[in-house]
Chain A
């Protein structure tokens, strides 16, 4: 087994929180503990993946053009068929030649993405790999999974090590952590599933049958196998957990503590992201100030497959501690959560977007919308946004323009909060004119959570959101989020994530 280096980690959670008690109350079953994370109407697995991956790249000090492959695992890609991978790669500013792939089909996809990246690095086909696991499963109404299904994303920046490459290791010195062992086991059994064309995940399995005959024995077997392959014994395990009780049974079977419980408690079952989010949790400083070092195991599960990995942690991994800030979110009612997930829709058709989202304006505009580009005038420096509608400079009329990536931070020049719009728009909707740090001016949507607090002069950051789900096609763009305590110094990527998550 050739080890691979872990250079940085990132994590993300959506902005809504739903109490299991509220779900139970809706069905008259009364049960459930804790809360789960739910995507708002403008969040999905791609926006979560973008945030986790951006954070991980920043933490690792890796620039997007250094990434040779993007491996993305999610059971709910934004397109069941379509350009999910290239959309994410474009938002991250990765090279058009970037390799990798999209793993899907079950929540095991997150581990499959990790293994794919690992294989490419070990084979010498990639120097830096970006692994993202994100999920936002949509549980069927009234299913047992409704009270435990959450959403979240984990990202890892991986590089080659001295052992895995003939050349020098990626960062010259020894990496903060290395994946050292892996093992997969499988059993052909149906548990949670989503039929082709179905919109939500069903779980009509027998819970005790699943626990006793499938989940616990399979994951324990994978965990034991990876331990046998590893020279060091895992000091703790991060384990995917469909219901909040299964993971601890596996850890008990493996004889080491469960380290993934806090992130499960904060977000619920994050599907494809669960095992890696748990691993990041295990690598975080646990509030003690001292980073966890030594061997940690992680086991992901989905669709009858379990994969266990062991990571050797030498020192604090950049970006890992961000996971401790994912807990906060806006508590919503069951009805609000259903509406956000698209499971509760008004009878009237929404007003269609003026332009068809697969039409020419999007073919021309997607790169500049997903990448957030402007056109800088070589004569006067004015940035006109976006480039495709600005053949000449809005400042001086010059035609010598170069495409530039815009700053993601700025101050509010002016704003409104729109309260009166037809479906699919939801009030309150802030629209914010921002003076970006690079001098560009941009008007974008703001966060409803900021509607009551926005003021001229506030500092805002731009974050990727889904502007529309138009005729089934997601349309992405950047929205403005107010930075709490606006005059504070520039925060790190993790701070941004925490502020958004805690909006």
Chain B
């Protein structure tokens, strides 16, 4: 039996992109408005009695010490209880998990979970790339984001014969899906040849193996399963979730062909939801790089370890494949505004389970969708949430 104590009754996001014209506060207001507007039977915002904010990097927009008060002020809810969650790339999905537990505890009735991230208020050099000089002065030195995943590509290729073409096929699929998602950062097709001809960023990863730097925001409204029908006739339930950690330095990894945090988090989520990989209709997974999606679909149990490359190449994860993965376009095409990413993925799952995803709608047969993030130093944090439309 699924957990199903908490329901999603509203979800929405803003169009992702390099949103130079919008402030952090404006993005938050846009996402909140979208979520509020999505509630089928309407919801007075004064009913929201707690807010969980996910923003991973205040440093990327010049607010190093951001707490939990900026967002309530920006969305007209100043005074409400609010906590900010920062837990690496899964910040948004972890904020959702925490929001669900807050509702289930009975302490708060209606909880807004909102992820907001400014990635482009600083130049790339001063922003995301500056992490090359952060962390341990020797053992992290030169470690930009692709360095966290590229060593896994090198080793996956070495052990399983995964090829650049297989990795490129992930980018091709997700860019195709992004063309069907009006909220995606990129809405253009790419070809395998284009991916393989794009500049090397961090070998073996090329430019089109990498997700872009994207500003964005997404919001979800949670309430208890009992109260869900006050707001909608089509609630989506939180079936289960899991979070797990691994050591933070790459040299502490026990292997370079999988991410143990994902496997652990997924195991916990499957157990809580009472389902397995075969019960899922679709998944939104963390494809910050093409190799990451290949690792994810193995670590989540969609395919056997080592078979993620061929499965991607052969279309098993396409919209009409055996297990559609990242119908939204994923991080590669929709974008990766870190704190907002998980909540945007969950919004996609919500749309898909309600069969409101338009041209990119996948077949919903069993009523379960999985959302996954992994990241942080050493890719040592993973969160998996499973949603269901089955009461």
Residues of A bordering B, CB below 8 Å: 348, 350-355, 357, 361-362, 365, 369, 384-386, 389, 394, 413-423, 425, 429, 431, 433, 441-445, 456, 467-468, 475, 477-478
With A389-B136, A433-B256 already in contact, the answer to whether A418 and B144 are too (CB < 8 A) is yes
A394, B247: Cβ atoms closer than 8 Å: yes
Flag if A419 contacts B201 (CB, 8 Å). Answer: yes
> Which residues from chain B contact A421 at a C-beta distance below 8 Å?
129, 132, 142, 144
A450 to chain B, nearest CB (A): 12
| Seed contacts A441-B252, A456-B158, A467-B141; 12 additional CB < 8 Å A-B pairs | A348-B125, A352-B133, A394-B252, A414-B154, A414-B155, A418-B142, A418-B146, A421-B142, A421-B144, A422-B125, A433-B256, A441-B253
The 9 closest A-B pairs by CB, nearest first: A354-B134, A477-B138, A416-B150, A422-B125, A443-B251, A414-B155, A414-B151, A417-B203, A456-B158
B137→A362 contact, CB < 8 A: yes
Binary CB contact string for chain B from 116 to 153 against chain A (1 if under 8 A, 0 otherwise): 00000000011001101111111101111011001110
Asked whether A420 and B202 contact (CB < 8 A) given A369-B138, A431-B147, the answer is yes
Q: Does B231 contact A (CB under 8 A)?
A: no
A467/B137 in contact, CB under 8 A: yes
Q: How far is the CB of B61 from chain A (nearest CB, A)?
A: 17
Count of A-B contacts judged by CB separation below 8 Å = 120
CB distance from B178 to the nearest CB of A (A): 23
| A444 to B251 alpha-carbon distance, docked (Å) | 9
For the complex, give the distance between the alpha carbons of A417 and B134 in Å. 18
Contacts of A414 in B (CB 8 A): 151-152, 154-155, 158, 256
Say whether B133 contacts A443, CB under 8 Å: no
In the complex, A352→B144 CA distance in Å? 14
Give the residues in chain A near B155, CB-CB below 8 Å. 413-414, 456
Which residue from A365, A416, A442 sits with its C-beta under 8 Å from B202?
A416
B16 on the interface (CB 8 Å rule)?
no
The answer on a CB contact under 8 Å between B203 and A419 is: yes
Of all chain B residues, which has the CB nearest A361? B137
Q: Which residues of B contact A478 (CB under 8 A)?
A: 138
For chain B, the count of residues having a C-beta within 8 Å of the partner chain is: 38
Smallest CB separation, B253 vs chain A (Å) = 8
How far is the CB of A319 from the nearest CB of chain B, in Å? 29
Residues of chain A with a CB closer than 8 A to B132's CB: 351, 418, 421-422, 425
A446 to chain B, nearest CB (A): 10
Question: A422 near B201 (CB under 8 angstroms)?
Answer: no
Interface string of B151-166 (1 = CB under 8 A from A): 1101100100000000
Chain B residues with Cβ below 8 Å from A423 are: 125
Q: List 18 A-B contacts (CB under 8 A).
A: A350-B133, A351-B129, A353-B137, A355-B137, A369-B138, A386-B136, A414-B158, A414-B256, A416-B203, A419-B200, A420-B146, A422-B133, A423-B125, A431-B142, A433-B251, A433-B256, A442-B251, A456-B154
Asked if residues B154 and A416 are in contact (CB atoms below 8 Å), the reply is: yes
Given the complex of chains A and B, what is the CA–CA distance between A112 and B125 in angstroms?
46
Asked if A419 contacts B138 (CB within 8 A), the reply is no
Q: Is the CB of B133 within 8 A of A353?
A: yes
CA distance A477 to B205 in the complex (A): 27
Chain B 233-256: CB-based contact to A (< 8 A → 1; otherwise 0)? 000000000000001011111001
Most chain-A Cβ atoms within 10 A of its Cβ — which of B125, B143, B154?
B154
Give bound CA distance, A444 to B141, whole Å.
8
A417:B256 contact, CB within 8 angstroms? no
A384–B144 CB distance below 8 A: no
Q: Which of B7-56 contact A (CB under 8 A)?
A: none
Q: Please report the C-alpha to C-alpha distance between residue A442 and residue B139 in the assembled complex, in whole angstroms.
A: 8
B95-134, CB < 8 A from A: 125-126, 129-130, 132-134
Task: Kindly provide the distance from the CB of B139 to the nearest chain A CB, expressed in whole angstroms.
Answer: 6
Asked if B139 contacts A443 (CB within 8 A), the reply is: yes
